[in-house]
Structure 1
Amino acid sequence: MSKVININQKINPDISKHRDKYSSNIEYSFADRLNYVMLVRNITNVQLADKMYCATSTIAGYRTGARIPNAIMIKEICRSLDVSADYLLGLSDSILLQE
């Protein structure tokens, strides 16, 4: 079962110090949002690259903003991280988290 939580909610004590950086009153890039989701999920570049069958340098490029994923890669990122495309693209501040 899934639930939607707002990015401004305290997710767990270990990442609460990052909460202010990702508050919804500021526009964040795809890279910022991807970094946040990977932090929440505790997933490394290598782990995500393995799930997506791509190079770790590709993921690193997305996380730094040096590369912009195409629609197919965004879809794969969303599937791999169980996150909505709306969140990653900045259309929503709610992230889909698996219980």
Structure 2
Amino acid sequence: MPTPSPLEDPLNAHIAWTRYWQLMRWMALITIGCVVVALSILFYLHGLVSIHIYIAAAGGVFFALMLTSALMGLVFLSSGSGHDDCIDDPVSRDISPDE
């Protein structure tokens, strides 16, 4: 029987999710800064072109960075809370430590 996840405890879950959302708020601020830099470079290189290019570039940079931040944040949440350590890995039981 697998060991229970530390995230099943409401206090541990609250602490882990609070840390996750704090990380996401910081990453949102950094992402907005990256969008401003990307749009500035785009304007410097190409001047004033269609507004649709700037909207697409801003949306693309924002979406890509926030998606990456969200997924990496979930990896850190899972690892940092001990959720990864409680899995029942059937493969690890088949290999003896002497081999």
Regarding TM over 0.5, the answer is no
Larger relative CO (CA 8 A, sep 6+): 1 or 2?
Answer: 2
Q: Which has the higher strand share?
A: 1
- TM-score norm. by structure 2 comes to 0.26
